[in-house]
């Protein structure tokens, strides 16, 4: 792929008190590209999205790193407004709408704060977006309360809201986990279509390798707040190299289930192991893995943070 970067995260560290939630995290998304972020629960996926969206908890610190969006460092106050072109689709449509206000009232309020134009223009744009996300009765939808929509329809509403600021990047935190399987498929197909029709880039957090394979050209695998492997999704899924990625995938040959099954647990963020953070769970760990932080090595089609990635894993490494 060529062209300028749309989003570039460089050497990002996030701390909450003494806990190192993210360390030296980097990723690059080009305009119109799709990137998935995977890793077990607690690996820092949501924290990465929150840092990009500027919604980290108040006590979070960013001791190192940069987040460049359209070339501007959005961690600095002056450039924070550049985040206006990043749309966010939340995880749970049930929790993300206020039940006591009509859909139109809530979404028009979001547009009043973030989109240019007056109320009449915002209304017309919302109806057009409702059409684009295939919400039934787009005009009547503005006057309905959240409980009058199904879960899938609420997610469509929130996707329309995310599109209302004309984003160049749509960030989504497991936007289909609260939905049934059929609705999940429809929402994923919708996101794929919108992304390709509008030239939108997608940054997608998921637990689901099936979702990853269908929606994301590239993948970043996080473990305990660090990137362990990144590259083209097809290459990584077909031939994972980092022991962590290999074990994740070995647990889920159908690649459509939640990530469970690697012996041990993700370390607590305030008790990260020294050296490679995966070494206490790694079946091929060498002595140096406990002391030396492995750099990301560039191989032919990806980056991998393990000098021993060519070594085979012993059988029964996963439960």
Ligand X SMILES: Nc1ncnc2c1ncn2[C@@H]1O[C@H](COP(=O)(O)OP(=O)(O)OP(=O)(O)O)[C@@H](O)[C@H]1O
Q: Which residues bind ligand X (CB under 6 A)?
A: 16, 19, 21, 39, 41-47, 57, 269
How far is the CA of 10 from the CAs of 48, 62, 301, 319, in angstroms? 12, 12, 20, 35
Kindly tell me which of 46 and 299 has the beta carbon lying closer to ligand X: 46
How far is the CA of 1 from the CAs of 4, 33, 35, 141, in angstroms? 10, 9, 13, 40
Kindly tell me which of 125 and 277 has the beta carbon lying closer to ligand X: 277
CB 46, min distance to ligand X, A:
3
How far is the CA of 136 from the CAs of 68, 126, 142, 205, 234, in angstroms? 38, 13, 11, 28, 35
Kindly tell me which of 94 and 308 has the beta carbon lying closer to ligand X: 94
CB 104, min distance to ligand X, A:
31
Determine the Cα angle at 27 with ends 23 and 80, to 5°: 85
What length is written for the chain?
A: 319
CB 58, min distance to ligand X, A:
9
How far is the CA of 49 from the CAs of 7, 14, 53, 90, 206, in angstroms? 12, 12, 6, 11, 12
Q: What would the two tokens of residue 302 be? A: 């990806």
Kindly tell me which of 16 and 284 has the beta carbon lying closer to ligand X: 16
Kindly tell me which of 42 and 167 has the beta carbon lying closer to ligand X: 42
CB 177, min distance to ligand X, A:
9
CB 261, min distance to ligand X, A:
15
């Amino acid at each position: 792929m060529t062209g300028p970067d749309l989003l570039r995260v460089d050497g990002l560290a996030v701390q909450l008190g003494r806990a190192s939630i993210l360390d030296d995290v980097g990723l690059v998304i080009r305009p119109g590209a799709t990137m998935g972020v995977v890793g077990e629960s607690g690996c820092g996926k949501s924290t990465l999205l929150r840092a990009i969206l500027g919604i980290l908890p108040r006590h979070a610190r960013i001791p190192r790193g940069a987040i460049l969006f359209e070339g501007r460092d959005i961690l600095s106050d002056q450039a924070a407004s550049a985040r206006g072109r990043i749309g966010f689709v939340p995880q749970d449509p049930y929790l993300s709408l206020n039940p006591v206000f009509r859909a139109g009232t809530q979404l028009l309020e979001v547009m009043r704060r973030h989109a240019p134009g007056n109320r009449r223009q915002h209304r017309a744009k919302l109806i057009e977006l409702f059409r684009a996300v295939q919400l039934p009765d787009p005009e009547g939808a503005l006057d309905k309360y959240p409980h009058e929509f199904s879960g899938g329809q609420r997610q469509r509403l929130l996707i329309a809201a995310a599109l209302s600021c004309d984003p160049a990047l749509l960030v989504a935190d497991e936007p289909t986990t609260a939905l049934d399987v059929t609705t999940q498929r429809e929402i994923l197909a919708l996101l794929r279509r919108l992304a390709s029709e509008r030239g939108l880039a997608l940054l997608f957090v998921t637990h689901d390798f099936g979702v990853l394979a269908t929606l994301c050209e590239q993948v970043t695998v996080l473990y305990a707040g660090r990137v362990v492997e990144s590259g083209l999704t097809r290459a990584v899924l077909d031939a994972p190299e980092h022991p962590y990625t290999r074990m994740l995938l070995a647990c889920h040959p159908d690649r459509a289930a939640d990530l469970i099954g690697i012996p041990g647990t993700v370390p607590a963020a305030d008790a990260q192991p020294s050296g490679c953070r995966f070494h206490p769970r790694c079946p091929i760990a060498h002595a140096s893995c406990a002391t030396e932080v492995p750099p990301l090595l560039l191989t032919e089609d990806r980056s991998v943070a393990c000098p021993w990635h060519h070594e085979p894993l012993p059988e029964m490494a996963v439960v």
